[in-house]
Structure 1
Amino acid sequence: MIKKFFFVFFAASILLAQTNSLQEIKKLYEDYEYEKVIQQSNELLNDSQLPDSLKIDLYFMRAVSFFAIGNENLSRSNFENIFQLNKNYTPDLAKLSPKITNFFDEVKKEFLKKEEEKTYSPENLEKLKQLAIEREDELKFSMLKNIFLPGWGQVSLNNKNKGYALVGFSIVNLTAAIYFIIDTNKKENDYLNEIDKNLMPIKYSNYNDSYKKRNILISTFALVWIYSQLDLLLNNKYKIQQNLPEVNLSVEDKNLFKLNFKLNF
């Protein structure tokens, strides 16, 4: 508790000192002491703990100061530093001369144009293309994992809460389904081999109960399996836009469920 108090006190002290220094520089700026603004802001900008909002204020005053003393190159550089922190930054134009306003707009327009060119440069486009291929391969591999165990694919794509929930439910459900498949076959054989007419209704009832539970568990697992595949495709931020899987569930007879899954690569 004491350490936390001292940490908060220390952080507050630093912020207060930074704010006071900024206020002093603002006073120099308002008094047109541009060279002193540049000098004192240099010292404050060397502080690695300085928040971005204060940096923007300092860069703006420096940009105007450099422009006022005739150094457009350094003025441009400081305006660009602002856009690096906030490309949508717009100053209070009413407090600026038309010359500085026009210069600011020119620098901002050029900066945004350069950023756009960087985004759509051949190198960046190639990187984006390669990243898309990697993500699609990752998604396909995750889908293969999901075929064997619902939820495994979600886990591999870092959707761990949903993934582990699906994995856990699938394992429990599948284990119970396997148990009742075996139990149903056993009770069916017991019923078919029973020769005592008094025991036949009991054996049939036992077989029928197990049969219904088996079917419910198989159907539940099939639905969870299908859900996990569709969730992986539809809710994942890296989606395959084509070659979607085909899923079909059918019942051949009372003892046979057929699940077809087709994934195109």
Structure 2
Amino acid sequence: MQQRMRRNILWVLLCVMYVGRSPGQQQVDSTLGIIQSLYEQGSYLSAEVESRRLLDNRSLQPSSRIAAEQYLAFCLVAQNNNLSAADHFLEILALDSTYTLDPILTSPKILAVFDQAKRRQGEIKQSGEKPRLEPAGSAVNPSSVSFRTLIFPGWEQLHQGRTTKGYVLLGAGILSLGSTMYFDVKRRDARSQYLGADSPGSASSRYDLYFKYHKAEYYAAATFVLLYLYSQFDAFFDLPPTSSPITLHISSGPQITARFSF
């Protein structure tokens, strides 16, 4: 019985460790493929939602971020939201000033919005205004929070790109949950030994051992519950410990944002 319980505990921990891995470039490329497919099928709103969700990942490589911004801008143009589309083209130009669109493969409507964004970028450069640094709010966009926050502490943080906090919460969650299950097995075994005691002295010592495992199981379970609740709130509000990200603003014309988080 105990050996079977140990195997179950090990299996649960291995599964949690597997699903808690941070999304890699292969997953990002797969998501970009889905966005491209949605856009080509004319599902512009769905493609926009997926693009915004991908852009919420703070660990995106610049090339992947540019691709996601591009599809988002294309979707916004298709939905006649040219002003917002131009803002996202500006985000791309801030990442890569040499970025261009193929005039043959790109629709004239998108090219017109992109040219508008390039003119706005030129106006910003000519104005010669110095950027100012302002602290950005630490709240996470609630629409970007996925089902992962309900599964296990730290998984959603890893998905959001906050890998340090994500791995800390994931490791602490695995440790506390594993301890809870381990002490539960030991408590049950100690209880069986206590009930089978054949003398008052033996019963007293075995009860002390049972009570010790009972308390250890309680504290381990309470620790996991606290970690779980903290992870839930942190997924939405980016709770401390964290350093305040910094946003770069340009006061005239469009707003260019750069986030630095640790």
Looking at both structures, which has the greater relative contact order when contacts are Cα pairs under 8 Å and sequence separation is at least 6? 2
- TMscore range, shorter length: 0.3 to 0.5
Larger Rg: 1
